[in-house]
Amino acid sequence: MDKLQFMDYTFMFNPDHSTYTNNEEGLTFFNLDGEVRIKIRFKNGRLVLLPQLGVTIKKVDDKTYRIIANEYQPV
Give the mean model confidence (pLDDT) for residues 58-68.
Answer: 95
Whether residue 74 is contained in a domain is answered as: no
Print the SS3 string covering the chain. Answer: CEEEEECCEEEEECCCCEEEEEECCEEEEEECCCCEEEEEEEECCEEEEEECCCEEEEEEECCEEEEEECCCCCC
Q: Rounded to two decimals, what is the model's pTM?
A: 0.83
Whether residue 49 is contained in a domain is answered as: yes
The domain tally of the chain equals: 1
Whether residue 33 is contained in a domain is answered as: yes
Res 75 pLDDT > 60: no
Whether residue 20 is contained in a domain is answered as: yes
Which domain range does residue 46 map to?
2-69
Comparing 73 with 1, the larger pLDDT belongs to 1
Band of pLDDT at residue 50, cut at 50, 70 and 90? very high
